[in-house]
Amino acid sequence: MKTKELLIKEVENSPDLILQEVWDFLQFLKAKYQQEQLEVSLLSESSLKKDWLQPEEDEVWQNL
């Protein structure tokens, strides 16, 4: 059985009080994941900026 199916089965058999906590935790995890992705993007940008801002880069991409 897949994880999603197992979760659905547990949700169907759980009281509302627990489901509220599960909902809150899921929202927390999603926000944390989005924050981590943003941080990785920002770190990548600063390390790649030196290459992106070269005249040679502009030349390569000018016809697109």
Whether residue 51 contacts residue 57, with contact meaning beta carbons closer than 8 Å, is answered with yes
pLDDT of residue 26: 95
Domain that holds residue 17: 3-61
2 confidence band (pLDDT: 50, 70, 90):
very high
Domains identified in the chain, total number: 1
Residue with more model confidence, 11 or 51: 11
In sequence order, which residues have a C-beta less than 8 Å from that of residue 22 and are 6 or more positions away? 11, 14
User: Mind giving me the DSSP string for 36-62?
Assistant: HHHHHHHHHHHHHHHHHTSHHHHHHHT
The pair of structure tokens assigned to 63 is: 């016809």
In sequence order, which residues have a C-beta less than 8 Å from that of residue 9 and are 6 or more positions away? 1
Q: Summarize pLDDT for 20-58 with one digit per residue, the tens.
A: 999 999 999 999 999 888 878 777 777 777 777 777 777
Amino acid (one-letter) located at 47: S
